Structures are given as structure tokens and as C-alpha cells.
Structure 1
Amino acid sequence: MSILVVLKLGKGDWQQGFSNITVQLWENNNQIPLQFIGSLPSAPELGQIYQHWRKLYKALSGNLSFRRGSQVLDIEFDEEDVTQVCDEEFFTLCDQLKHNFNLWLDYPAFSRLEGQLRTHLNINTEIRVIIETENEQLRRFPWHIWRFFEDYPYAEVSLSPLEYRRTPKVKRQNVSQVRILAILGNSTGIDVEQDKQMLQQLQGVEIVWLVEPQRQELDDKLWDEQGWDIFFFAGHSWTHDEQGTGYLEINPTQSITIEHLRNALKAALANGLKLGIFNSCDGLGLGRELASLSIPQIIVMREAIPDVVAQNFLKMFLRSFSGGKTFYLAVREARERLQGLESEFPCASWLPVICQNPTETSFSWPQLQKYPDTIQTKNIVQSSDTIQTQPTAKNQNTVESLDTIQNQNTVKLSNTIKTQDTAKTQPSRVLEKFYKFRLTRLLLMSIPLTLVVMGVRWLGLLQSMELKAFDMLMRQRPSESADSRLLIIGMDEKDISQYGHPLPDDKLAQLINTINAHQPAVIGIDIFRNIPVPSKTSPGYQQLSQTLQNSDNVIAICSSGNGSETQSIAPPPQISKQQVGFVDLYDDKQPTNGQDDTVRRYLLSRSASLLEVPSRCQTSYSFALQLAYRYLDAQGISGVPNEDKNWQFGSVIFKRLRNRSGGYQRLNDRGNQLFINYRNTPQIAKQIPIRSILDGHFDLLRIRDRIVLIGVTAASVNDSHDTPLGEIRGIYIHSHVISEMISAVKDERPLLWSWPQWGDMLWIWVWSLTGGIIVWKVRRPLYKGIGISVAVVVLWGVCWFILLQGGWVPFVPSILAMVIMVGFAETKM
């Protein structure tokens, strides 16, 4: 029999302390607990030590193979990162944290409370200590370092949500085996096969494996009416530091939260789910959300966990738990045995933690297999089966007679079939063989033809035609509305006449201050300001300098000159380098050897190595990325570079463009490049002239919470670029990219994608075979021409439909393969 201790900290934090702490002691299944009251003082120094500990732990974890997913990395450029950590310093900090924590708990108002507990507890009794607090730092804190747990070897700590309910007891009909739903998620850089082997060694279990599943597949399995005893996950996961939301990377491209599985998990709970094991990084967000669903017991890791540590914990836990120890004692033993790894993996034994529904009791492995109410049902079923399989002697004679008659009829039927086969005409057999021969020839012809077309494509000989076909498909998409989250303030011809060009410093400062007064989300200045206008000694220069220094929501621009130091343009000298984005646009002259200058791609970010020559523009982030990032960050959606160096916002991943993607065959794919999914709209956003703002003739309330872009829109200032939608100014291209990123994250508007080379090859082969089948099946020339024309129209329509979903699939190579196949089939068939 175990004893339950619930420690409720109430409201408070490190700065204020905790003035109303309650401890409840439930023993021997009493309906009314013993209850004690205490308090704790403020401890800001302890909070600082803990924050420093987490920072050093993250720094140490950076060089190891961790089950960390797309960890939310801060893009605050002014934060000083820890680059070197001494192991001795870290271990000293661990001792300091443990000492100060226990010193804090020695506060008289709390030590009296602890003393009351000790008078009622036996050191040989299993004790479940549950911490209830709304303070996120204390939830994450390693409570097992409390000296109390050293004195009580059968005590283990767990976390609980503030609100919970009792779950009904479910007796599953499957009594013979423990059912486990095992998810092996994104395993990039780690070895989850070890987890799989350990689970497979368990006796008396039924395991259903889902390896890198899609969300729908996982959801469907959780609804299984047979029910699950254990839900297991191994792979990458992480918790958003600000939101506290846990994310599971179920496959390399998809991250989901518990909220995405809420209904399915409720169904699994109703069908008997008892335990969740998340052998992955930083799972407190997952644990909190699962506990709020009243899942009885959950194991998660409070920080990032090394791959080796995760494997060792699972092995020790399964060995202890399946060996008969209760759940809490198995977790404690497995956690403590990780201490042997701490010379190589510091604080390994601090990582596992239980999240618990306080209304549930601890259980053991044998208890998962015992459902007494179903044993009688099983016996009844067996008895019924016995009755059905024991016919009387009379029935046996009848069956034997029927078998004799059936055998006689079978012989007659066989003879009849043989007679019919003999009656088959010789021409029908020849025709059948002929058709098989022609189909085989079509298959044999289509395969090498497809390989030839792929080879021609590989050499880049079809690239220009594929790009033009892509542009035509882009223009034929349905019209879209302007993006209301953007506002463009453009300097037109009248503004140039009134204020001059470039816009003077004082006017630009006035414009920024006026806009900022009405709380925009972020301001992007698409105007080069590397030199003062009109001069550095003018009052306007000082005014603009002060404005830029005081405006942390302003993004300025610079240009690397596409690799030329002399043509590169520096950002304004007054602004922080963290508020600068490059505006270089990259057309397709390079991949097409100067034949095409259309802008279809956008460089979101680049590494320092891409700046092959010295440049006045040293930022690694583009103008559009800076603006979209800050807008989404204000919405609570942080952008992070994941392990594959792709930008990820929430669950949306902006995959880096690679060579041989879509129609590209000669692409320089350095940096984080993005297919531009232009909105098919004549105007990407509402646009107003500068004078409307400076003269107060515009409803400034419409600025609030928008992305405001300031640039030049006058036709006399040349800044036009070819795009699939026609000629567009640079500021509009940046706006399209900003809109694309925000719409993908907020509105689920599709990003552009393409198949791998084998997918393109299979697609081209199908259309090659289609051409051959038309020639084979249609004999009249007129109908044959109609059939080929219909196939081309259908191919175009299918490519167009797939493009609406974001897919760029081969059109020109497919047409080429089909036409060549038609010619070959005409001569060879």
C-alpha cells in the first residue's frame, strides 16, 4: 500500500515567495486526508542560480546527440550566448543549486510542515509525492534533490495539473496481453531502433508500431476500440519556452501538439489507456497537457536528453517495471541508475519525471494484465466453441454422405470444364497471346524512353521550357484577394515633386514617428539610407538617428550587391545591426545561362560563408524574413532553424530549395532559398502615398497591428523585376514573400513543393505509357489525334490542380515522353 503526499504551493514565485502552502497526506485509502499549512520566503538568488544552471546545461547539450526536436531558439540578437562550459564549473553549480534549494526549504514555516510529514511516514513505505503549482519554473525544477527523498528510499516525486478529475475504471476485453501503441517519430541524428528492440523483449505484450506516421494515421490508431494500455513515443520533441506547449515531431516534416490529438486521446483514455511514456526531449509541456486530459500516469523528460541516456533509462525502467516493481519505484530506480552516466552526461539522473493524475493510484506490470471480470466471458466463448465443434455421430454420417455426393459432382463439373476448354477456338488463344505480347512491348519501350527523357532533363536542356510552363500555370490560378495584414506606404511621383528624392531625413523621421504612434506590428523601410539626406550636418540627420535608435520595431535594409563589394550598400549607421535585412533579389539568369531573368526564388537567410567577398551588408537575414519573423513572434509563433537548417514557424517548415527541385536542374542552392508562391492578385496589399500620412489625410487607426512597408513606387525610379505574374517592383516582391510566410503559418496556404527525382521519373513514365496505350487501343488516325489531344489537356489540368495544392510536377518532360512514345508505338506496334 502506498501513501500519497500532495504538496500544493499556491500562488507565488521566486520574487514573492509562497505564503500559503498546503500539504495533504492520504494514507490507507482514507477519504479525508491529514492537512498541514506552511509557507516559503522569496528566493530570487535561487531563481537566478536555476536559470544559470539551465543555460549551462543547454550549452553542454549543444555538442551531444540529443532527442531535441526543432528546439525553440531565440532570435534575440543582443543576447549573449554561452559558448564554452567547464564541466567542473557545471558540477559546482549543481551542488550550489542543491544546497541553496534545501536551505530555502529549511525555512521554519516549511520545516515545521515537513516535520509533521515525517512523524506520519515510514521509510519502508512507498510514498508518492505530487507537486501542484502554477509556477512554470517550479514545475521544471528538479524536486528530487530535496533531502527528503534521500531519507525515504521508496519515495518518488511527480507533477500534477491544478485541475483534474477521476477517470472511470475500464475493463478491457483483451486479458492476455498488455497492448502498446509505439510511435517512432522523427529519428534524424538519433537511434530509436534501440527503443524498439527493448520493447520487443517484453513478454506478454501486443505492440503496434507506427514509424514516422502521418497525423491522420496516428489519430486513427488511438481510436482503436480494443484500447491501449501504454502509449509510447521515441524521437524528437520540445517545449515552447513562452507558450509552454509541447511539440512531438512524428515525422521529419510534421510537428504536432497534444491539442491536435485531444479527441483521439480522450477515446484512448475511455478505452483503458493507463500510461504514457515519452522518451524524448523537454516533455514537460506534453506532460502538463496530457495530465489535463486525466491520463493516469505519464513519464517525460524535464530537459533535453542525450540519446544514450534515453536508451539507458528505458532499458532500466522496463526491466524494473516488468519485473514486478510498482510504477513509481521502477521510475525512481531507473532514474537513479542514470547517475553512472553523469561523468559523460552531466545531470542525467535529473531528467526523468512523472506527470500524475492525483486521483489515480500506483500500479504494477502484473496489474495491467489482470481483468477478472473478463475471465468468465472468455470461458463462455470457449464453451460455445466446444459445442459447435462436437457434432453427434448422426451428424457425422450425414456430413460424410454429403461429402461423397459433393465429390461426385466435382468430378462431373471438372469434366465439363475440360470439355469447354477443348471447345475453345484456336484464334481466341492466339489473340490473347498477341495482346499480352503488345502490352509487354509497350512496357519495355516506355522504360528506356523515360530514362532518356530524364537524362535530357538532367542535362538542363528542358529547364527553360519547364520554367515558362510553370509561369503559365501560376498565371492561370484563381484570383486571390490582397493581404490585409500588410500596408504599403509608397513614394509616388507627387511625393517626389513635393518632398524630393531621396526622401529627406527629417521627413523620413516624421513618417516613422507618425506611424509608430499608431502601434504597427513592425515597420520595414525599403529605402537605402547609407548616407545622410541632404547632409550629415542637417538637423534632420540627428532627428532620424534618434528615431532609428529609439524604434526597436523598425527594419532597415542593405544590399550585398550580389557579391560585388563596390556595389554593396551599407545599412543606416544609426540602427542596430539586428534590425537590418538584405534586399538582394535573385533571378534565374544563373541556372539558365542568362536566358531567363524571372524572379521565382527568394533567399530567406544565408551564412557568413556565402559572402565570398567583403561586403558592406553583413546581415544574414533577408528583409522579408525579418518582418515576417517579428510579426509572427508578436502572435506567439516563434521562428527557429531546425536540425536540417530549415526555418520552422510552429508546425510549418519552410524547406530549403535544393538543386533539381521542380524544373530546376542547374541551380546554385546555397542558403535558405524559398519558392515564391506569388498571390495571384493585381495588388498584394493596400497602398497609400507618403503625403497621406504626413498631411494626416489617412485613417491612421488602420495602421494598428499591421506590417507597414515604406518604399518608392514612382515609375520614374526604376526597380522593376520580371516575375511569373509580370513586371513587379522590388517592394512588392518582398511583400509577396512576407504574405506567403504569414499565410502559410496562419492560414495554411500551401507552400510550393516538388517531388524527388524518382517521383518525377515515375510520373513521366506513366504519361509515356499513356501515349503508347492510346496508339495501341485507338486505330483510326482522327480518333488517335483526339485521344492524344485529350491526354495533353488532362495532363495540363492535373498539373494545374496539383499546383493549387502547392505542387510543381513535370509538364514539359511528360509531354515530350508521351509524344516520343506515340511515334515509337506507331512504327513498332
Structure 2
Amino acid sequence: MSCTVVLALGYGSLKSGFPWVTAELKKQGKTVDKYIASLPPAPHIALLHKRWQVSCTASQNNRSGSRIKVKDTGTTNISETRPDAIYQGLTEEMKKWLADGEFFTNIEVKLRTEIASTEEFVQIFLECKAEIWQLPWDAWQFREIYCNSEIIGSSPEYKKNSPPSNFWRKTFTFARENFMRSGNAEGIDVEQDIQEIKAYLGDRCELEFLKEPTPEEFNARLFDDKSWQVFFFAGHSDSDENGANIKLYINRNYQNDSVTLEYLIEGIKRAFYKGLQLLIFNSCSSMSMAVDLVSNNLSLPPIIVMRAPIPDPIAQDFVKSLLKYLAREEPLFLAVRKAKDDLLRWEKRCPGASSIPMLCQQPNLEEFTLPKPEANRHSNINGNTAIEPECDRAKNQLSLSLSHLMQRLAIGLAVSAIGYILMGPIVAPVANKIGMKNARQNKPLIAKIYYKLSSLLDPNYAAPHYNLSELCNKLNDSECALQAMQNAAWRGLPDAYAQSSKNFILQNKHQEALKAIALCLENTKYDGVKAACFKNRGWVRLEQKQYDAAETDLRTAIAFRKDSPEAQCLLAEVLEIKGQKQAALAAWNQALKYSDYRIPKQDECILSARQRLQAKGNKP
């Protein structure tokens, strides 16, 4: 299932903070809930971001093959010799800012509770001023945990898009989709882009490549009757220091080599109403283009842009990956996410490379996907249908006789089944209670018989399976306990999902545990069960050495249930690994306070807590 989150930062700035932040959660197009929080001032993030952009531009000045034209402004005094350190500091500050108490508690925790499965598709529309888009939102812990999510830049104000009805008829009538590409290739290898486009889209789209057109030719093709669905620009672009006066360089005739954004706007508006569905600007000043286009409050298709200067091989790699995932019929936002993830291998050469591409889109647009390859578009072209051969007359008569017999048998069975169906759910709880009574009286064999009887009387009744699992645990029959708990989980008992996930963790089956936890969070309404599920997910993340995610889940579990000794114990381990010694000691104290030595797992926690506290000279 796909979810949509509209994260609106409202008025404010990094200097003054954002006092009114809302997150609207939608499932299947309907609003499920809305959460309110705030974000504190963070002017240092703006400074770090500026330093990172300067370091990117400076490194590009020293490289050939950059998709940016840099104006000669004299000597540039750049003291940033460690772009990796700058970007690391920037992302760490972003994480701290977004982990602020109110935003984390009122928005992130609630979103993670509602969106139980970390495999779920999540589109996050970031509604704010365009300069806030440019920050590395990919550092948000929520995005890291939800691997099929992506943050999409969106304007707080936008028009409702309603293309003419003839556009929709045209889209479904024509078998081929159109793809147009343009740009000045001086100093960069756009031929590689062309080859990738042909490889992935040649059997899906009608391709046209404009190689260094004049501005008049460029605009004529954009305005023509072809009804382009995709427009792709690969080449140089630039803007002034304030991101204004944007130019796209489309040829090498220096007297007539570029078009301004103002020149493009009217063409883009008309192209949208004739069917334009996607804009891709694979050039370095394209973020400024997106800002200007959005500020004009135009009806726009999705736009893919670059946040910062990017080396040509990385730009090509992004295009290749994006087209690959679109050709696999991935939704646009997920194709962008996966293509960005593929850029992680470039982080050493270009710190922050994976966060440079960005998708900008209005929340009310339908999802963009490429058409199927032409060979697969039409089935049953000649209108032929398969016809089963007729049976012999004698076989038909025999079948008719057997049919009458089966009908009579079915009537008899139906009468018995109706009685079973009507009485079973009434009698099953009684049998389960008798089983529980015998279990308390230390009569396990009789208890087991009644639990089995209860489950036979009502196959959908989860309680006897759960109780049988507890009984088998006491008898040290781990196989029986695991199977019975799985049976209870299959019948939708959230407590059983929580216990099953714990059993899977003990068996080092982490993926099975995560699936059970997702079902638990999706189905339970009880804080105690949620606490157990978040605790188990934190346990898995600890085993996987994902310490930030583990800490987040364990603190969430403790927020639901403070007296959870296992969550406190696991949190203390995580904090020790992260080097937060004092915080770890506080967690060990809490674990010791709530643990019960009669429970084996908690007894282990008591022992660990006492050892740590005694080592630090604290009295346990």
C-alpha cells in the first residue's frame, strides 16, 4: 500500500525557527490523520549548507566536464579543503535538528506508528520555501528507515491541474510516448546520455534529439503539435550569485547560444496543457530553475533538478539509473530514490552526491510511469480467443449424473456445516476458559486438549493458539510454542505478532521478525503492544548495527511504556556503543529499577546493569 505525507513547514526560517509544522498522512488518497509540531531555529545549518555549496562549486572549477558554466569573477578565496568534513557536519546538524523533541515526538513517532511497514511506499511532499528544499533532507532518519520513501519538493501554493479532456484521449489513443532532448555539449559527454536514453526508452518512446539548436528552433519544437510527454535537457547552465538570471546553453554560437528561463516559461505552460508530463534538467543551476518556475505559481508537471554542481560522470550515472528504474515501471518518486541510492558509490569523490538530484512535484498530480514496450502493449491483436474442445455426449451425461449426486451430498454437508458454524464461535471461548483453568491447576495435558478443541470449534479464534504457545513455553517445548504463536499471529492477534517477532530475533531471522513487527504495529491499538513491537524492532536494528535507528525505536518503545526493562536495557547497550556513557548509565539505572529477576531475560539485564553501575562506582 502507498502512503502520502504532506509535511508543511508553514511560515518561518532557519534563523527564527518554524513554529507551526504540520504533517498530513494520507492512505489511498484519504486523510488518515494530521499532526502538529514545531522546529527550533538553526541558523548554523544555513551557514554549513552555504559552505558545502561553495566547496562543490570550487571543486567543479578545478575539473573539466562539469555541467555548469562559471562566470569569471576574479580570485575566489576558498578555505574549504575538506568537502567531506563539511558535508558530514551538515548532515549531522540536519539529523539533530529533525530529532528535536517536539518534531520527533509529535510527528516522526506518530508517522512511524501509523506506517508500520518500513517496506511501504511513502511519498513525502515537503511544502516550504524553495531555499529549504535545497537542504540535505535525505539525512532525515525517517527517510533512512523507510527504504521506499522519497522527499519531494512542493510549493505551499499551487493550482489544481486539469489538462483538457482531449489530452487524456490522446494519451490513451497513441501507442508511443514522446521524448525530447536538447543542450549544448561543449566539454561534457552528452553522447553517453543519448545512448542511455536509446537503450532504455527506444522501444517505449518516440525519441527526438535536438543537437545544439538555435533559440528559435528550440522554442518552435517545444511549441509544435508533437505533444511531448517528456522534456530532457542535458548540458550547461548558469545563474548569478543569487540564483537569478538563469540561462540554458543550447549551442556554441556565442552570439545566440542560450535561452533564459523567462523565454521557456510560456513554452512549458503550453506544452503542459498539450501533454507534457515530466521535465528533467540535468544541469547544475537547475534548482534555481525549479525555484523560479514554482514561484510563478504555474501548472507544472514533475521536475527533476540538481541541488548543486555535479561532475559529469555522476550526472550520467544518475540518468542511467533513473531510466533503468522507470523502464522497470517503478513510480517516478521511487525511481528517483533508487537512482539516488545508486549514487552512494560516488560519495568519496563527491561528498553529498546522492543528495544532489531532487524531484519537485505538486501533490495533486497523478503518478508518472512510462508506457510499456510496444511489443507488450497489445494482446489478442486479431481478436482471436482460445476455444476449449467439446466433450463427448456420453461424458456429458456421466458428468450430469455425478453432478446430481454431488448436489445431494452437498445439501447434507451444508446442514451439518451450518450448525458447526453457528455453534462453534459460541462454544469455543468456553473450551478455551476450561483450558486456562486447567493450566493454572498445573494440568497441562488437559489444558492442551481443551485449547485444541477450542481452535477446532472456531478456526479463526486466536486466543487458544496464544495460550497453547504460553503453555508449551512453560514445558520447554520450543517447537510447539513457536508454531502455536504463529497460528495466533495468522489469526490477527497483535500480541502474537509481538511475541513471534521476539522468537524470530532469538533465531537470528531478522527479516521475518521485521515483517511480524510491521503487522503488529499495523493491527494493534494498545500502547503496551506497540511498546513491545518498537522494542523488538530496536533490538533487530541493534543486531544489524544500525545504531541510530535502534535508538529511535527503543526511545519510542519507552515513550509508550516507560517501565519496559528490556527496552531500557537494549537502549543502554546502544548508548554505550555510541559513546554516550552518562546517558547509558541512566538507562541501566532504569533497567535495574523495572526488571524482575524471575524472568530469565530480565535477570540477564539485572546482572549487566549491576556490573556497569558497580564499574562506575554507583550503588545499584
Provide the TM-score with structure 2 as the length reference: 0.56
Residues 59, 262 of structure 1: alpha-carbon distance in 2 compared, 3 angstrom cutoff: closer
Kept in 1: contact 2:3–2:122 (CA 8 A): yes
Alignment match of 1:350 (pick from 348, 355, 374): 355
Residues 328, 367 of structure 1: alpha-carbon distance in 2 compared, 3 angstrom cutoff: farther
Q: Which amino acid aligns with 2:127?
A: E
**How many angstroms apart in 1 are the aligned matches of 2:349 and 2:333?**
26
Kept in 2: contact 1:67–1:237 (CA 8 A): no
Q: CA deviation at 1:95?
A: 1.9
Q: CA deviation at 1:336?
A: 1.0
Aligned to 1:15: 15
Kept in 2: contact 1:229–1:368 (CA 8 A): no
Aligned to 2:188: 190
Aligned to 1:579: none
**How many angstroms apart in 2 are the aligned matches of 1:73 and 1:334?**
33
Aligned to 1:147: 141
Give 3-state SS (helix, strand or coil) of 1:276's partner.
Answer: strand
Give 3-state SS (helix, strand or coil) of 1:231's partner.
Answer: strand
1:228-377 matches, cutoff 5 A:
228-252=228-252, 253=254, 254-291=257-294, 292-366=297-371
Q: Which amino acid aligns with 1:148?
A: F
1:628-667 matches, cutoff 5 A:
none
Give CA-to-partner distance per residue, 1:616-647, whole Å, 9 cap, x none. xxxxxxxxxxxxxxxxxxxxxxxxxxxxxxxx
Q: CA deviation at 1:368?
A: 10
1:491-506 matches, cutoff 5 A:
none
Aligned to 2:128: 133
Residues 240, 38 of structure 1: alpha-carbon distance in 2 compared, 3 angstrom cutoff: farther
Residues 282, 263 of structure 1: alpha-carbon distance in 2 compared, 3 angstrom cutoff: closer
Q: Which runs of 4+ in 1 moved over 3 A?
A: 66-75, 243-246, 289-292, 366-370
Aligned to 1:105: 98
Alignment match of 2:78 (pick from 70, 78, 82): 82
Kept in 1: contact 2:68–2:285 (CA 8 A): no
**How many angstroms apart in 2 are the aligned matches of 1:329 and 1:135?**
22
Pick which of 115-124 and 273-282 moved more. 115-124
Give CA-to-partner distance per residue, 1:648-668, whole Å, 9 cap, x none. xxxxxxxxxxxxxxxxxxxxx
- The answer on 1:59 being equivalent to 2:58 is yes
Kept in 1: contact 2:130–2:291 (CA 8 A): no
Give 3-state SS (helix, strand or coil) of 1:216's partner.
Answer: helix
1:371-450 matches, cutoff 5 A:
none
Kept in 2: contact 1:239–1:284 (CA 8 A): no
Q: Which amino acid aligns with 1:3?
A: C
Kept in 2: contact 1:38–1:113 (CA 8 A): yes
Q: Which amino acid aligns with 2:97?
A: W
Q: CA deviation at 1:251?
A: 1.8
Kept in 1: contact 2:6–2:125 (CA 8 A): yes
**How many angstroms apart in 2 are the aligned matches of 1:67 and 1:239?**
15
Q: CA deviation at 1:344?
A: 2.6
**How many angstroms apart in 2 are the aligned matches of 1:326 and 1:367?**
13
Give 3-state SS (helix, strand or coil) of 1:82's partner.
Answer: coil
Q: Which amino acid aligns with 1:313?
A: F
**How many angstroms apart in 1 are the aligned matches of 2:141 and 2:310?**
24
Give CA-to-partner distance per residue, 1:91-115, whole Å, 9 cap, x none. 2222221111111112222112222
Kept in 1: contact 2:124–2:152 (CA 8 A): yes
Give CA-to-partner distance per residue, 1:498-526, whole Å, 9 cap, x none. xxxxxxxxxxxxxxxxxxxxxxxxxxxxx
Q: CA deviation at 1:358?
A: 1.5
Residues 204, 106 of structure 1: alpha-carbon distance in 2 compared, 3 angstrom cutoff: closer
Residues 91, 262 of structure 1: alpha-carbon distance in 2 compared, 3 angstrom cutoff: closer
Residues 73, 146 of structure 1: alpha-carbon distance in 2 compared, 3 angstrom cutoff: farther
Pick which of 124-133 and 147-156 moved more. 124-133
Residues 167, 109 of structure 1: alpha-carbon distance in 2 compared, 3 angstrom cutoff: same
Give 3-state SS (helix, strand or coil) of 1:303's partner.
Answer: coil
Kept in 1: contact 2:204–2:370 (CA 8 A): no
Larger radius of gyration: 1
**How many angstroms apart in 2 are the aligned matches of 1:33 and 1:256?**
45
Residues 278, 57 of structure 1: alpha-carbon distance in 2 compared, 3 angstrom cutoff: same
Give CA-to-partner distance per residue, 1:286-314, whole Å, 9 cap, x none. 22344443222111111111111111111
- The answer on 1:200 being equivalent to 2:198 is yes
Q: CA deviation at 1:243?
A: 4.8
**How many angstroms apart in 2 are the aligned matches of 1:288 and 1:318?**
24
Give 3-state SS (helix, strand or coil) of 2:6's partner.
Answer: strand
Kept in 1: contact 2:251–2:258 (CA 8 A): yes
Alignment match of 2:108 (pick from 111, 114, 117): 114
Give 3-state SS (helix, strand or coil) of 2:371's partner.
Answer: helix
Aligned to 2:472: none
Aligned to 2:544: none
Q: Percent of aligned pairs with the same residue?
A: 33
- The answer on 1:158 being equivalent to 2:158 is no
Give 3-state SS (helix, strand or coil) of 1:344's partner.
Answer: coil
Residues 162, 188 of structure 1: alpha-carbon distance in 2 compared, 3 angstrom cutoff: same
For this pair of structures, how many residues does the alignment match?
369
Give CA-to-partner distance per residue, 1:203-256, whole Å, 9 cap, x none. 222111111111221111122223111001100013433254542112233332
- The answer on 1:45 being equivalent to 2:74 is no
**How many angstroms apart in 1 are the aligned matches of 2:353 and 2:243?**
26
Give CA-to-partner distance per residue, 1:662-707, whole Å, 9 cap, x none. xxxxxxxxxxxxxxxxxxxxxxxxxxxxxxxxxxxxxxxxxxxxxx
Give 3-state SS (helix, strand or coil) of 1:12's partner.
Answer: coil
Q: CA deviation at 1:131?
A: 1.3
Q: Which amino acid aligns with 1:200?
A: K
Q: Which amino acid aligns with 2:161?
A: T
**How many angstroms apart in 2 are the aligned matches of 1:268 and 1:333?**
28
Give CA-to-partner distance per residue, 1:308-340, whole Å, 9 cap, x none. 111111111111111221111111111111111
Aligned to 2:84: 91
Give 3-state SS (helix, strand or coil) of 1:288's partner.
Answer: helix
Residues 322, 99 of structure 1: alpha-carbon distance in 2 compared, 3 angstrom cutoff: same
**How many angstroms apart in 2 are the aligned matches of 1:57 and 1:41?**
28
Kept in 1: contact 2:91–2:136 (CA 8 A): no
**How many angstroms apart in 2 are the aligned matches of 1:289 and 1:47?**
20
**How many angstroms apart in 2 are the aligned matches of 1:359 and 1:73?**
42
Give 3-state SS (helix, strand or coil) of 1:259's partner.
Answer: helix
Provide the TM-score with structure 1 as the length reference: 0.42
Residues 162, 239 of structure 1: alpha-carbon distance in 2 compared, 3 angstrom cutoff: farther
Q: CA deviation at 1:33?
A: 5.6
Kept in 2: contact 1:140–1:302 (CA 8 A): yes
Kept in 2: contact 1:13–1:135 (CA 8 A): no
Q: CA deviation at 1:116?
A: 1.8
Q: CA deviation at 1:363?
A: 2.9
Residues 293, 72 of structure 1: alpha-carbon distance in 2 compared, 3 angstrom cutoff: farther
1:430-509 matches, cutoff 5 A:
none
Give 3-state SS (helix, strand or coil) of 2:147's partner.
Answer: coil
Q: Which amino acid aligns with 2:348?
A: S
